[in-house]
Structure 1
Amino acid sequence: MSFLNSAWRRDRTEPTPSPRAGEVLASARELRVRLGTRTVLDGVDLDVTAGEVLALVGPNGAGKSTLLAALAGDLPAAGGAVRIGGAPVAAWGPRQLARRRTVLPQSAPLAFPFTAGEVVRMGRAPWAGTPLAAQDDTAVAEAMAATEAVGFADRPFPALSGGERARVALARVLAQRAALLLLDEPTAALDLHHQELVLRVCREQAAAGRGVVVVLHDLGLAAAHADRVAVLAAGRVTACGPPPDVLTSPLLTEVYAHPVEVIPHPRTGAPLILPLRA
C-alpha cells in the first residue's frame, strides 16, 4: 500500500519521467487470459522497450488484440503477470496508467457531435492539473499535423469518413504523449498513403524514445517498419525478433495455413511476403 500511496502523491505533482533508451516499458510473463470459457492467451512472454516499434501479427483469432488489451491493463490476467513502468499494471490508478500508456482501439464510436479537434484534445485529460497541461495546445496541434487532420479540425467527428476518424483517433493518442503507445490495427481503414503515414509516425515516436506496439494484418508493413515482429498463433507467441529472422516462408506458411513465399526487396532487402496462388 505504501507504493500506491507514494505513487499517487507523486503523480499529482510531478510529470512522468521520460524513458531511457532500451528501458522496458511493459512486459508480460507467462500471461494467460480467458474470455468467457475460452483461453485466448496461454503462456505469453513479451517485453516492450523504449525506442522500438514492435508489430504483433498472426491470423484471425490468434490473440493479438487480446494481448494488446492485456498489456494496456484493460483485460485482467487469469494467470501470469503484466507490468507497466516497472510495477504490476493493477498498481496504477486510471489516471496514472493513462500517463504511462495510451491505447488506440480498433474502433472508436462516438455518438456526440464533438469536433475532430475536441476529440484530439481529449487525449490531454490525464495531464489536467499538472505542469504538463501547459503543453495542451502544442500537443494537439502537433498531433493533428502529424496525422494530416488539421483540415477537418472543426468538423463533427461523426460526420468524418472512416479514414478521417481513424486519423483523428490516432492524433488523440499522440496528443496524450505517453511513453508507451498501443495501437490496434491503426491502418485498417486507410488508403496506401495514409497507411505509410501512420507507420512513419510510429517510427518517429520510437525515434523520440517511446515504445510502440502495433497490431497489423499487413505483413509487408510489419516487415518494412517494425524493429521486432511477434508472430502469434493459437494464443502463443511462436516467434519474436527482427523481421528478416521471423518472417520466413516455413513459419508463415504454417501459421497462416497457406503457402507463403518470402523474397528480399531488391533495393532495401526487407522481406516481401507473397501468398502463393494456383
Structure 2
Amino acid sequence: MLEIKDLSVSYGSRKILNNLNISAEKGEFLGIIGPNGSGKTTLVKAIINVLKPESGDITLNGRSIKHMSSTEIARHIAVVSQVFSINFEFAVKDIVMMGRTPYIKGKECHEDFDIVEESMKKTKTDFLKDRMVTQLSGGELQRVIIARALAQQTDILLLDEPTSHLDITNQIDILNLVKKESRKGKLIIAVVHDLNLAAYYCDKIALLRDGKLMSLGTPAEVLTPEIIGKVYNLPVEVVTNEITNSLYVIPKLEPLAHP
C-alpha cells in the first residue's frame, strides 16, 4: 500500500534522510523508532508531501504522491501531529467535523454527521462534543485529534509520537484504539519513543539513526541488545515480559549511590 523508495531529504546542505527504503501494507502497525534527531518527524512530513524529497519517491498503491493533490492525499492519509494546540473556541464536534473537509462540497450532509458521531464514540469523546477544545486536558485533546483523523476515513493513519506528554492510562488507551484500527485493516504508521510500547503494539519496526535505516523487521528482529546498543549507545538486556509475552528492553544502569 505504501512504499518509500530510495528516499533522501535535506534541509539546505544538511541531509536529514538518506536513501530510505520502507514498505508497509494494509492491516499493519509499523513503528518508527530511533534516537532524537534521527529523522522520524521529517519522514512523517515527507510521507504527506509537506517536505519534498531530494531524491527517491513515496508511492500509495503504486502512485507517486508527487502527482497527488493535498486533498487527494488527505483522502488516503490522516495525520496526528506531534504538537497540536488550538487557541480558538471551537466545539469538539466542530474539530472532528474538520476531518470531513476532503469530502465536503458546500455543506455537511447526514453521512458526515454520522461519521463524526461514530468517530467520537470510538475515541470516547462523544460526551465532550459540545465542550470547547480550550477546556480539554492533554489526553482529551489527543483523543479528539484522533477522532478527527478517524473521521477522514482513510486507509492510512499516521501518528507522530501520539502518546507524548500523556499519562500511562491515556497512552495505553490511545495505542489500544489505533491497534484495533489496524486489525480492522487500516495501516498504522506511528513514531514511538518507548521501545517497550513499540515491542508490544507494532507488527513491524523501522529503526532510524542519523537519517539512515539501521534495521527493519519484526520487534524480535529489530529489538536486539546488539542493535539497540549500537544505535542508542546504551547497553541493554532484552527479555520476554511474562505478563504480556512481548519483548521488554531493560537498560543496564549502574546502581545509584545512596547518601
The alignment status of 1:58 with 2:39, answered yes or no, reads no
Q: Report what 1:222 is aligned to.
A: 198
- Displacement of 1:239 after TM fit? 0.6
Counterpart AA for 2:169: H
- What SS does the aligned partner of 1:122 have? helix
Equivalent of residue 173 in structure 1, options 149, 159, 163: 149
The alignment status of 1:202 with 2:192, answered yes or no, reads no
The alignment status of 1:152 with 2:101, answered yes or no, reads no
Q: 1:171 to 1:246 in 2, by over 3 A?
A: same
The alignment status of 1:119 with 2:121, answered yes or no, reads no
Gaps of 5+ in 2: 255-259
Check whether the contact 1:27–1:71 (CA below 8 A) recurs between aligned residues. no
Equivalent of residue 94 in structure 1, options 48, 52, 70: 70
- Displacement of 1:92 after TM fit? 1.0
- Displacement of 1:74 after TM fit? 1.5
Counterpart AA for 1:258: L
Q: Report what 2:138 is aligned to.
A: 162
- Displacement of 1:134 after TM fit? 4.5
Gaps of 5+ in 1: 1-23
The alignment status of 1:240 with 2:216, answered yes or no, reads yes
The alignment status of 1:249 with 2:232, answered yes or no, reads no
Higher relative helix content: 1
Check whether the contact 1:101–1:178 (CA below 8 A) recurs between aligned residues. yes
Counterpart AA for 1:190: L
Once the two structures are overlaid, the 10-residue window that deviates more, 50-59 or 267-276, is 267-276
Q: Report what 2:113 is aligned to.
A: 137
Counterpart AA for 1:237: L
Equivalent of residue 105 in structure 1, options 75, 81, 103: 81
Q: 1:134 to 1:209 in 2, by over 3 A?
A: farther
- Displacement of 1:139 after TM fit? 1.8
1:186-236 CA distance string (max 9 Å, x none): 111222122111111222111121111000001111100111011111101
- Displacement of 1:158 after TM fit? 2.0
Check whether the contact 1:55–1:228 (CA below 8 A) recurs between aligned residues. yes
Q: Report what 1:260 is aligned to.
A: 236
- Displacement of 1:133 after TM fit? 5.5
Equivalent of residue 187 in structure 1, options 154, 163, 182: 163
- Displacement of 1:109 after TM fit? 2.6
Counterpart AA for 1:170: I
- Normalization by structure 1: what TM-score? 0.87
User: For residues 198 and 111 of structure 2, what CA distance do their matches in structure 1 show?
Assistant: 32
Q: Report what 2:20 is aligned to.
A: 44
Counterpart AA for 2:9: V
| RMSD value, Cα | 1.6
- Residue identity over aligned pairs, in percent, reads 34
Counterpart AA for 1:151: F
> How many equivalent pairs are there?
253
- Displacement of 1:70 after TM fit? 0.8
User: For residues 136 and 13 of structure 2, what CA distance do their matches in structure 1 show?
Assistant: 38
User: For residues 99 and 188 of structure 1, what CA distance do their matches in structure 2 show?
Assistant: 26
- Displacement of 1:250 after TM fit? 1.1
- Displacement of 1:76 after TM fit? 0.5
User: For residues 250 and 186 of structure 1, what CA distance do their matches in structure 2 show?
Assistant: 27
1:47-100 CA distance string (max 9 Å, x none): 121010000011000111111111121111011111123211021112111111
